[in-house]
């Protein structure tokens, strides 16, 4: 009964306030889901290990996150879970390409060049997955390596391009970051997933 006493304009204001209050709550829930889902190590025997790209520093060396992803992939390779590693990522803010830095690290740890494939053109998670898929037979099994918050998207995009995707989170690089560094990264990923959930059906409908 009380609700009927509000004018139409007042009701719209209440709806707007409720919507604005729901946005941060939805973001927190989505971010929590991404972290929990990605934290499970699903690594198993596969055809290749795919390292998703991350930032290269101004001096041309790997950022802590890129190095940690590459090291984790190397350790999976050492365990014999896959015979080859696929490095992904183009040149970002500073050269060289993220994939080139990954390859340099892997070879420094003793991985032979014959076990490494490089994609130097991908600039996004989706392109990382697409270009890795182009290097493999359709239906190939891969282990996707990134941080827990990122792996849901890696899994989705790999499956989109015909891969069977097992995810394995690196933790050392992520755990080394302080909370002030983690929150903006997680917020950006949450926004990216939200964007995809909103716009992907439209692009899929028109084959874009």
Element (H, E) at 172: helix 172-176
Element (H, E) at 86: strand 85-88
Confidence of residue 12 (pLDDT cuts 50, 70, 90): low
Tell which wins on pLDDT, 190 or 42: 42
Average pLDDT of the chain, as a whole number = 87
Query: What is the average pLDDT across 139-152?
Result: 97
Q: What are phi and psi of 60, to 5 degrees?
A: 90, 0
Sign of CA dihedral 179, 180, 182, 187: positive
> Rounded distance, CA 51 to CA 66, Å?
9
pLDDT at 204: 54
pLDDT tens per residue across span 75-128:
999 999 999 999 999 999 999 999 999 999 999 999 999 999 999 999 999 999
pLDDT at 8: 54
Element (H, E) at 159: helix 148-160
The proportion of the chain whose per-residue pLDDT surpasses 90, expressed as a percent, equals: 70
Q: Which domains does the chain have, with CATH numbers?
A: 41-170+180-190 (3.40.50.620)
pLDDT at 22: 47
CA nearest to 56, candidates 81, 82, 89: 89
pLDDT tens per residue across span 156-173:
999 999 999 999 999 999
Long-range residue pairs from 182-190, CB within 8 A, at least 24 positions apart, any chain = 185/149, 186/31, 186/34, 186/35, 186/149, 187/27, 187/31, 189/31, 189/34, 189/149, 189/150, 189/153, 190/27, 190/30, 190/31, 190/34
Residue that the structure tokens 């604005």 belong to: 20
CB 38: neighbour CB atoms within 10 A? Answer: 24
Sign of CA dihedral 186, 30, 35, 141: negative
């Amino acid at each position: 009964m009380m609700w009927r006493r509000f004018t139409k304009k007042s009701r719209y204001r209440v709806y707007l306030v409720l919507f604005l209050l729901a946005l941060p709550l939805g973001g927190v829930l989505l971010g929590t889901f991404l972290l929990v889902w990605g934290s499970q190590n699903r690594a198993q025997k596969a055809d290749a290990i795919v390292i998703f790209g991350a930032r290269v520093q101004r001096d041309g060396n790997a950022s802590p996150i890129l190095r940690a992803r590459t090291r984790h992939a190397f350790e999976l390779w050492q365990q014999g879970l896959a015979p080859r590693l696929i490095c992904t990522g183009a040149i970002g803010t500073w050269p060289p390409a993220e994939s080139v830095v990954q390859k340099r690290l892997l070879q420094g740890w003793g991985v032979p060049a014959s076990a490494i494939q490089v994609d130097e053109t991908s600039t996004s998670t989706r392109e990382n997955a697409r270009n890795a898929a182009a290097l493999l037979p359709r239906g190939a099994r891969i282990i996707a390596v990134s941080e827990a918050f990122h792996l849901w998207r890696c899994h989705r995009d790999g499956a989109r391009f015909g891969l069977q995707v097992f995810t394995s989170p690196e933790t050392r690089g992520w755990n080394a970051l302080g909370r002030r560094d983690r929150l903006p990264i997680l917020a950006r990923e949450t926004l990216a997933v939200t964007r995809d959930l909103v716009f992907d059906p439209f692009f899929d409908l028109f084959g874009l």
